[in-house]
Chains A and B, each alone.
Chain A
């Protein structure tokens, strides 16, 4: 039903142009936030069992095969925030990552799927604030934005003035995107007004840099909390809401994602602003890359399969995607050592 004659007609024009990337101007207005409005989430029910059932059926109801699968995997690459957030990160380590971000797929593979000469990069490179400078240097001329975590990542328990200063530092260093963490304490105490004020201050500190608000959903526990915290973050001006730091006990899951995506859908219906979504942490396989895209397509539609409204926070998923694409091209199962490491 959705696969019909239309497809051929519209794609002919776009045949040699990968759809909008982060370089292109946003076709929508940046979230301006709104005053804290508790009624938008207070008492909003989220039933865990039902959410889990829906999440489970997303990937059993939809299946993407062969050329379509390869296309979806290429699209996933465009939306990866290729990430390194390790204590032993160095300038050289970051440079290697950036090189991979600029050429995530080998030229031979690109040629084999008809993408020779076409631009294909990850959505961004994501690092710690002190690594931003190295990344910016390494990515000069690639058009790939640098994202930085900030605000006392991952726990977010440093004083607010330091957290804000850290944001400003990262922006000054050249970060175009800031991944902030919210104060879980405020969310767990349902101190929504203080949480709102903190996030709003962070958004102000971000200035032109886009702000992704990490909810650390594994520590918020209930889906109702996840929905409420999502709403507060968006009301306070978050451009993206993001599941996890990757450091919590439970990282990105489909049920949590479903809840956050429904929150951003509801926020959009109320305010008209389009909010992006970023699942992060523990997403390693090409299969998961497909699963989250199915979720976005089913719940939100095609617009949320672009890097301006969707990102994967992942470090190792790219390797599996490369192997799967090579399998599509050669018909043989691939091995990790055949692809450039990040």
Chain B
């Protein structure tokens, strides 16, 4: 007899422990330690480090610390396997990815339990969220492999990808990295996080079990040094990193000038905005899903609640009631809502930050949590934007609550952050929701929802939350490159500028070229001009721009943000008009080009190409639109292309007109404002061009032109925190310089050695330019009545 009557009065849940015996047996079988997975097989166990279960502190495995020799071996294997893998038909690769998806489903519970033991997340989450999304990701990308040739014509795999992933969603982040890479024909060297390497190693066993060709997937375990060896390896063509903004910066710096492609998915401090007309109970549950999901160790966690003053007391009361119902404890208990923090180091970091916030006046509301590597769900009220709890990504179950008065107030507070990963908006008014969506700086926006993911939608941030997207069509683009175009010869670096007096010029009537800033012609702050040489003798003087002129130009460009809100049709009209006015003065521009030594035919062809390009980008201005992704039922998932903001552009020296037009037009067609440094040696075409801009209804500040020393001006632009992206066409050293200088605000960079791309050819225009000029905002709108 089992007497149940003592249980009747309280009707507690009791415990519902997940049986972990199969996983424990597997761990036991690997007691000697794990090697790396290289070239289709596990290497002998090397020098190891311990992996612990954060909930208990028990050591559960020993994993090999990857050395640079290990990394060499892994990259060599990936390199060797890549051509053959890329040459397989899409269908063949699809079959492999499909097999991975199937095997993940077949081993779903094993992987869930292992993930929970390794990471500390509740079994409910690994079982219901992480692992199903992993399988979904491989299914989705099996599809991309199948239809790759049809959907991405003239695109090739990038090559060998070095991927470094974090500890918060160990297997899910692995899937986000590996699935698109393999689908596109790349091979991979991946390093799982030091705290949580076990599901990656289990996945390697699954890959072997599925017969994935050897060398296609290589997993090297280790710490930050191992990661640095991978991303810095000379035979890696693409680096993909998910993790902290701090490490993202280090990687950007480390591989600057290497020519490696880079995508970064970094930190966040995402706003969670609750308007007065929201379903408050729904919003409260949203907070649970936002910040008490995965112990708040979620890059896109809604960690800053902004709530309308009118409903703040009621919302706060409901939230506290809900918070009190959360169960913190054993991650393997099916009744646990909040599990263990991944590692004592992280738990200490959370404690320190919260302490600092409390010292600064924040009021904490917490529930009980067990001793050990746990942190209680925490609501911090009385948090102002000046507080450390507002600024810093805590990466723990800590949410701040701040009130706002008006819609404008809400937006100002929401965007008052260096990050821009996600936002969650709660209101029953669709007008209000979409208005806020358009204004919030975030790569992912959830309306009346939060933390919803699907392989078909892109994920990634604005600002210092990184660049590049994972998932969907936009994610595939990060693992593809244009099929090999003939690469031209690098231009020589332009000679040093001469700003002394004494050189005669040849014009009949002297013409004064100025800078063009904020819609006005402006003299350079330096007060100097430099000599512009012709084929035989100097042909004129150009203003010698300096960092102060860049400062002024960026300020003017930042003020021109209305351009990004104009309709595509409006922008198209302006671009057509530029083409019309350029056409009217075609002869004059051809003459100018000839004055630099171009022959008549070449000069006329360049002007003609420039006019066509005006029309092409005018045509695209209202057509380069987004998509509606097929994600979940009763859900509209919009992918909208948004301008980046201010783009700095350093133009190539050759093709002084076409190089300028080809880079500036796609940027402004998509709504950005530009600060352009035209051809250093032949700047007078660009200074002529501002007369075209003036007569073509281009609003002030949309195009700014600063002539002068390209390298110096580019550096100022690349360092400028208001500049969202930097395009640089110059020397190899300059490419490295720009990438290094970009780390301040982690701006997107596009660097090329000038001359390698022929701007007169079809390679000088295209959708790729437009894609470079935009970032995708994925907007999730559930519906139903």
Contact = CB atoms under 8 A, between A and B. Distances in A.
B277 A61 contact: no
A11 B10 contact: yes
A62 B123 CA distance: 12
Contacts of B153: none
Interface stretch (A80-88, A110-118, A177-185): A110-118
Contacts of B248: none
Interface string B193-218: 00000000000000000000000000
A47 B282 contact: yes
Nearest to B370: A1
Contact of B634 (A8, A46, A49): A49
Given A60-B124, A62-B335, A329 B2 contact: yes
B1 A49 contact: no
Interface string A176-215: 0000000000000000000000000000000000000000
A72 B277 contact: no
A115 B5 contact: yes
B279 A114 contact: no
A15 B3 CA distance: 9
Contacts of A54: 281-282, 285
Contacts of B283: 50
A18 B8 contact: yes
B327 interface: yes
Interface in B320-378: 325, 327-329, 334-335, 337, 367-370
A302 B9 CA distance: 9
Interface string B1-38: 11111111111111110000000000000000000000
A71 B334 contact: no
B242 to A, nearest CB: 26
Contacts of A3: 12-15
Nearest to A46: B279
Instruction: Report, as a range, how many residues of chain B touch the other chain.
Output: 35 or more
A79 B388 CA distance: 51
Interface string A44-78: 01111111111001001111111110111011000
A45 B12 contact: no
A91 interface: no
B1 A14 contact: no
A135 B553 CA distance: 88
B634 to A, nearest CB: 7
B278 interface: yes
Interface in B415-454: 428, 448-449
Interface in B262-281: 277-281
Contacts of B335: 61-63
Contacts of B328: 1
A50 B283 CA distance: 8
Contacts of B449: 49-50, 53
Contact of A72 (B3, B11, B370): B11
B14 A68 contact: yes
Contacts of B281: 51, 54, 262
B128 interface: yes
A16 B9 CA distance: 10
B785 interface: yes
B10 A64 contact: no
Nearest to B781: A49
Residue among A3, A222, A328 facing the most chain B CB atoms (10 A cut-off): A3
Contacts of A235: none
Given A65-B14, A113-B2, A47 B279 contact: yes
Most buried by A among B6, B325, B428, B783: B6
Given A1-B328, A48-B784, A329-B2, A10 B9 contact: yes
B286 interface: yes
Interface in A206-253: 221-222
Nearest to A262: B281
Nearest to B784: A48
A43 B280 CA distance: 12
Contacts of A61: 124, 335, 337
Nearest to B369: A1
B782 interface: yes
A298 interface: yes
A178 to B, nearest CB: 28
A7 interface: yes
A26 interface: no
Interface in A1-47: 1-3, 6-8, 10-12, 14-16, 18-19, 43, 45-47
A305 interface: yes
Contact of A74 (B4, B10, B280, B782): B4
Q: Does more than half of chain A's interface fall in helix, strand or loop, or is it mixed?
A: helix
A15 B1 contact: no
Interface in B644-700: none
B12 A14 contact: no
A301 to B, nearest CB: 9
Nearest to A54: B285
A49 B784 contact: yes
Given A60-B128, A63-B335, A113-B1, A71 B282 contact: no
Interface string A289-307: 0000100011000100100
Nearest to A222: B785
Contacts of B334: 62-63
Contact of B783 (A16, A49, A112, A328): A49
Interface string B549-573: 0000000000000000000000000
B6 A15 contact: yes
Given A1-B327, A50-B282, A70-B2, A45 B277 contact: yes
B11 A71 contact: yes
Contact of A11 (B7, B277, B783): B7
B14 A67 contact: yes
Contacts of B3: 113-114
Nearest to B326: A1
Contacts of A43: 277
A133 B251 CA distance: 82
Which among B327, B369, B783 has the greatest number of chain A C-beta atoms within 10 A? B327
Contacts of A15: 5-6
A63 to B, nearest CB: 4
Contacts of B785: 48, 221-222
Contact of A14 (B8, B16, B289): B8
A223 B13 CA distance: 29
Contact of A298 (B12, B124, B325): B325
B10 A63 contact: no
A298 B321 CA distance: 10
Contact of B7 (A53, A63, A67, A221): A67
A298 B325 CA distance: 7
Contacts of A2: 12-13, 327
A57 B448 CA distance: 16
A222 B128 CA distance: 28
A53 B285 contact: yes
Contact of B448 (A11, A47, A329): A47
A216 B329 CA distance: 40
A188 to B, nearest CB: 14
A262 B367 CA distance: 23
B372 to A, nearest CB: 14
Nearest to B5: A114
18 contacts: A1-B327, A1-B329, A1-B369, A11-B7, A14-B6, A14-B8, A45-B277, A46-B282, A48-B784, A49-B634, A50-B282, A51-B281, A53-B289, A63-B13, A68-B13, A71-B7, A113-B1, A293-B11
List the 8 closest pairs (A to B, CB-CB), nearest first: A114-B3, A50-B282, A68-B14, A49-B782, A71-B7, A63-B16, A47-B279, A11-B6
Given A60-B124, A302-B10, 13 more contacts: A11-B8, A11-B9, A12-B6, A14-B9, A46-B279, A48-B784, A48-B785, A61-B335, A64-B16, A65-B15, A74-B8, A112-B1, A113-B3
